[in-house]
Amino acid sequence: MRDAKRAILFILPTYLIITTFIILPIFFAFFISFNKWNLLAPMKFIGFSNYSKLFRSDEFWKALVNTLYYTFITVPLCVFFSLLLAMLLNTKIKGIAFYRVAYFMPVMTSFVASAFIWQWIFQSQNGILNFIIGLIGLKPLSWLNEPKGIFTVLFESFGLHIPQWLSGPSVTLFAISIISIWRNVGYYMIIFLAGLQNIPRSYYEAAEMDGAGPVRRFFSITLPILSPTTFFVLIMAVIVSFQVFEQVAVTTQGGPLNSSLVLVYFVYQKAFKFLEVGYASSAAYILFVIVLFLTYLQVKVLGKRVHY
């Protein structure tokens, strides 16, 4: 019993903070999302109006589609490059410490700083990226100020025109995705590296004796044993990409023409620029449900597959 009293004292600070700033707010947000409120006038209950307004809003759909585009660009590329780098590093090669530091450096950098550096690279005049693509004969792009779809621009450079629905994510959103990939690859690489180092060398040696080539070894040993790690990284990367905010806030503020508007920036804009707090909360809750579903999937599948 004395233990119980002491335990309560010990967990009190943590629980106080978590309750006030996470548990209460998540219920509070749900409640606000059914009200019309601008923080000044009294709240007014309006049922599902915020949600129906959301689903009728072109801007919201744009934000949702852009977030999905961003996810479809960043996640596969992030997973591919981080796994590739981890596999290259998992050989007995010299200088691993140096490479690990190099690849991890962007992860340490703040979103604001990395967005600034990349804005400098992406500049339409004097930007080094345009200089580089100029060397291979491509026309300069205004990377962070181009609402046209990436496929449209790509085909235009060969003089071809494609229908609007095939235009793909805007060049701007694509450029923002590049910043995120650059920043996050090192993080997932470390997780993959840990997963790879857990695979016993003897498996590979045995397979090599049986005459399995490197490709066969990758698909028959590495990939199956690594699948829980891969799945973890995959879901993690999707969740993180649904929360993208800083890169957009610092570089484009959702523009041009909403072509880089993403979910969290939509919520931020509605809540803190237009003070439509109820409306913003309904959008935030949709984001929450998506993330919750993904987390559920992660727990469910990982729970089953973690013992291979």
Partner 1 sequence: MKKRRIKRYIKHTILHVLLIAGAVIMIFPFVWGFSTSFKEMREVLSHPYNLIPRRFTLVNYQNVFGSIPIARFFLNSVIVSFSVTLSQLVTCSLSAYAFARLRFPFRNGLFYILLATMMIPQQVIMVPVYIILNFFRLIDTYAAMILPFVSSAFGTFLLRQFFMTVPKELEEAAFLDGCGHLGFLVRILLPLSRPILATLAIFTFMWSWNNYLWPLIVTNRIEIRTLQYGLAMFKEEGGINWGQLMAGTTIATVPILAMFLVAQKQFIEGITLTGLKE
Judge residue 4's burial from the number of C-beta atoms within 10 Å of its C-beta, 0-12 exposed, 13-18 middle, 19 or more buried. Answer: exposed
Please, what is the minimum distance in Å from the beta carbon of residue 242 to partner 1? 8
Q: Which of residues 44-103 bind partner 1 (CB under 8 A)?
A: 85, 88-89, 91, 93-95, 97-103
Determine the size of the site formed for partner 1 (CB under 8 A): 89
Name the one range near partner 1 by CB under 8 A: 51-59, 62-70, 136-144, 240-248: 240-248
Please, what is the minimum distance in Å from the beta carbon of residue 84 to partner 1? 9
Please, what is the minimum distance in Å from the beta carbon of residue 112 to partner 1? 5
Spatial distance between the Cα atoms of 50 and 48, rounded to a whole number of angstroms: 6
Spatial distance between the Cα atoms of 248 and 144, rounded to a whole number of angstroms: 10
- Residue among 102 and 206 whose Cβ is closer to partner 1: 102
Residue pointed to by tokens 């915020």: 50
Name the one range near partner 1 by CB under 8 A: 147-155, 160-168, 216-224, 236-244: 236-244
x-or-dash pattern for partner 1, window 141-160, by CB under 8 A? Answer: --------------------
Please, what is the minimum distance in Å from the beta carbon of residue 175 to partner 1? 13
Cβ neighbors of 275 (< 8 A, separation 6 or more) are: 38, 39, 40
DSSP 40-105: SSPPEE-TTHHHHHHHH-HHHHHHHHHHHHHHHHHHHHHHHHHHHHHHHHTSS-TTHHHHHHHHHH
Spatial distance between the Cα atoms of 146 and 149, rounded to a whole number of angstroms: 8
Q: Is 122 in the site for partner 1 (CB under 8 A)?
A: no
Q: Is 110 in the site for partner 1 (CB under 8 A)?
A: yes
Q: Single out the residue of 71, 74, 106, 152 in contact with partner 1 (rule: CB under 8 A).
A: 106
**H or E stretch including 148?**
none
Spatial distance between the Cα atoms of 43 and 37, rounded to a whole number of angstroms: 5
Name the one range near partner 1 by CB under 8 A: 45-53, 135-143, 152-160, 178-186: 178-186
Local structure of 1: helix, strand or coil? coil
- Residue (of 281, 278, 223) closest to 39 by Cα position: 278
Q: Is 245 in the site for partner 1 (CB under 8 A)?
A: yes
Count, in order, helices (H) and strands (E) of the chain: 15, 2
Q: Which of residues 260-299 bind partner 1 (CB under 8 A)?
A: 264, 267-268, 271-272, 277, 280-281, 284-285, 287-288, 291-292, 295
Q: Single out the residue of 46, 65, 153, 190 in contact with partner 1 (rule: CB under 8 A).
A: 190
Q: Single out the residue of 45, 108, 138, 200 in contact with partner 1 (rule: CB under 8 A).
A: 108
For 248, other C-beta atoms within 10 Å of its C-beta total: 26
Please, what is the minimum distance in Å from the beta carbon of residue 258 to partner 1? 19
Q: Single out the residue of 246, 252, 258, 261 in contact with partner 1 (rule: CB under 8 A).
A: 246
Please, what is the minimum distance in Å from the beta carbon of residue 62 to partner 1? 18
Local structure of 276: helix, strand or coil? coil
Q: Which of residues 18-37 bind partner 1 (CB under 8 A)?
A: 18, 20-26, 28-29, 32
Query: Phi and psi dihedrals of 295, rounded to 5?
Result: -65, -40
